[in-house]
Amino acid sequence: MTNPLIIALDFPNWETTDRFLVQFPTDESLFVKVGMELFYQEGPQLIKTLKARGYRIFLDLKLYDIPNTVQSAMTVIGQLGVDYTTIHAAGGQAMLKAGAAGLKKGAALGNVRPAKLLAITQLTSTSEAQMQTEQLVNVSLPESVAHYAQLAQNSDCDGVVCSAQEVPTIREHTNADFLCVTPGIRPATSQTNDQKRAVTPHEAAQAESSAIVVGRPITQATNPYQAYQAIKSEWESFK
């Protein structure tokens, strides 16, 4: 799965998560994202349960704290054997490098493959106007994202989480193997909800996203597996 479609498991607990997952064939190789709500409710045991089913896992906790705290937390996360995890680029180089070091240490302690560390640039729910007025960032949104991507690459991160709209700019400023994982994916017929910079799977593929993250268009579909197949087909047909 070189360019995965990742399903965002935005559910409040394991019971609702399991009711969703059992609608997929057991031989379907899923890549799933576990966010704050579900992880804080269920804890590390959830990750063990999902791994036992053969799922690949993106643990999206967006760490943002002083370097020592982030390093310690990433050491714990690193032992879980997840595939991707996240950290805020705005925390700065010292924090990013500490997170990367902690992740590698944890992987060694757990005897597992190190997770890919992805830096959060600007949330896809953030508009340029919001960024400039609320964060007091006096550059364009693409410039901010490109800056954070370069900072992440120079701070031992493997990639970033960003809108597909910013991927071409990031590609101009980073190495070819730098990951650009893009949430805010909405089929053309779907509502954008709180996503300000949503794109279709086709547009993400054209932008050369490394992976896409899809939540509500699949999790709230009448037939989740059918919705998953349709989005996956559109995504993979252009890769």
* 6 annotated as belonging to a binding site for a ligand: no
How many CB atoms are closer than 10 A to CB 22? 9
pLDDT at 191 over 60: no
51, 65, 97, 196: the catalytic one is: 65
Q: Where are the domains of the chain?
A: 5-236
Task: Establish whether 60 is a catalytic residue.
Answer: yes
- pLDDT for 196 equals 54
- pLDDT for 239 equals 59
- pLDDT for 197 equals 60
Task: Establish whether 83 is a catalytic residue.
Answer: no
DSSP codes of every residue in 180-208 = EEE--B--TTS--TT-SS-B-HHHHHHTT
* 114 annotated as belonging to a binding site for a ligand: no
d(CA 96, CA 94): 6
**Closest Cα to residue 230, out of 211, 212, 217, 213?**
217
* 194 annotated as belonging to a binding site for a ligand: no
Q: Residue 67 has which token pair?
A: 């370097």
Over residues 151-177, the pLDDT tens digits come to 999 999 999 999 899 999 999 999 999
Q: Residue 167 has which token pair?
A: 């991927």
Whether pTM > 0.85 for this model: the answer is: yes
18, 27, 51, 60: the catalytic one is: 60
Over residues 50-105, the pLDDT tens digits come to 999 999 999 999 999 999 999 999 999 999 999 999 999 999 999 999 999 999 99
Q: Residue 208 has which token pair?
A: 């050369």
* 105 annotated as belonging to a binding site for a ligand: no
Architecture of domain 5-236: Alpha-Beta Barrel (3.20)
62, 104, 105, 196: the catalytic one is: 62
* 156 annotated as belonging to a binding site for a ligand: no
- pLDDT for 123 equals 87
pLDDT band at 109 (very low <50, low <70, confident <90, very high): very high
Task: Establish whether 62 is a catalytic residue.
Answer: yes
The mean pLDDT value for 202-223 works out to 95
